[in-house]
Amino acid sequence: MTLPSVTLAWIALLGLSAATVLVTTGGTGHFSPVLFGGLLLLLAFLKARIILARYLGLWQAPVWLSGFSWVIGFFCLLLLVLYVAPGFSP
Amino acid sequence: MHAPTPKPERDVDAGIVDELPGELMIWVLIVSELLVFGAGLAAFMGVRISDPEGFAAARTHLDPALAGINTIVLITSGFLAARSLELRLAMKRTAARLHLFGAMALGCVFLAIKVQEYAAKVAEGISTETHPFFMFYYLLTGFHAAHVLAGIVVLGLVAWKDDPRTIETGTAFWHMVDLIWVLLFPVIYVLG
């Protein structure tokens, strides 16, 4: 018996949340700011994509899922740039 | 083997918009809300550039563990909401309603944790004027909490008027609240 895709999505979200806790606990002591911010935002992006695809049903509309993914991906990249920007200030 | 049924003229003309699951207007709302919260989060990180030490010091007053628990609460609530639609489509109305009530209950847990979080801040004398960090914190998390409250009401309404289309629209609102939280949480509670 296979699990429904929504259940698999929930398990994946729990796993990504656990990974977020691990990275957060590690903190900037274990990672460079770019890696730390990048990992956290990558995990956030993956969670957002799962919610869009499985909870909101965009797996049925691949073009829209791709569009949302690109926009949220670029947004996460913008947040990462803003996060590391103070380190490059004069 | 039957020949494929030709698509009705209307479908061909409507094009890509018709691919979206559910009501078009809920997607308009989802995009609007993402833009509003996105602008807020970008402004938060933009203001942080001028005072990263002040933001880091302010962030130590937050409790990421509580916010992490709230993430689990909200994604589990979203799971119950998503399952409710599947159950309703399978004509299991009672089970669908129970899942919606479960999603609402977890929404209430989220708000209870949020109230506890705000009470702790107020007890410390932290207000919107303490530091720009807290202005954004109260504004963004408060606006999100207002959406959670609205979402609980919406889930209650769709549990009452439980045709599949209504449940699909109501739970989409709930998933939007979930979606915003997974983007808001790391920015405010960890990176801010």
The rounded distance, in Å, linking the Cα atoms of B101 and B156 is: 7
Give pLDDT tens digits along chain A (90 positions). 556 789 999 999 999 999 999 998 876 677 788 999 999 999 999 999 999 999 999 999 999 999 999 999 999 999 999 999 988 766
The rounded distance, in Å, linking the Cα atoms of B180 and B141 is: 10
Number of domains composing chain B: 1
Q: Does residue B45 sit within a domain?
A: yes
Enter the ipTM. Answer: 0.92
The rounded distance, in Å, linking the Cα atoms of B87 and B93 is: 7
Q: Does residue B170 sit within a domain?
A: yes
Would you give the DSSP letter of residue A11?
H
Q: Does residue B35 sit within a domain?
A: yes
Quick check: B42 and A79 CB within 8 A?
A: yes
Interface probe, candidates B27, B37, B173, B190, chain A, greatest A C-beta count within 10 A? B190
The string of DSSP codes covering B103-164 is HHHHHHHHHHHHHHHHHHHHHTT--TTT-HHHHHHHHHHHHHHHHHHHHHHHHHHHHHS--H
| Chain A residues touching B75 at Cβ < 8 A | 10, 13-14, 17, 47, 51
No. of H helices and E strands in chain B? 7, 0
The whole domain housing B77 covers: 23-191
Give pLDDT tens digits along chain B (192 positions). 444 444 454 454 568 888 899 999 999 999 999 999 999 999 999 999 999 999 999 999 999 999 999 999 999 999 999 999 999 999 999 999 999 999 999 999 999 999 999 999 999 999 999 999 999 999 999 999 999 999 999 999 999 999 999 999 999 999 999 999 999 999 999 998
Distance from CA of B149 to the nearest CA of A (A): 19
List the CATH number of the domain containing B101: 1.20.120.80
CB contact B41 to A (< 8 Å): yes
* Angle (nearest 5°) at CA B71 between A70 and B59: 90
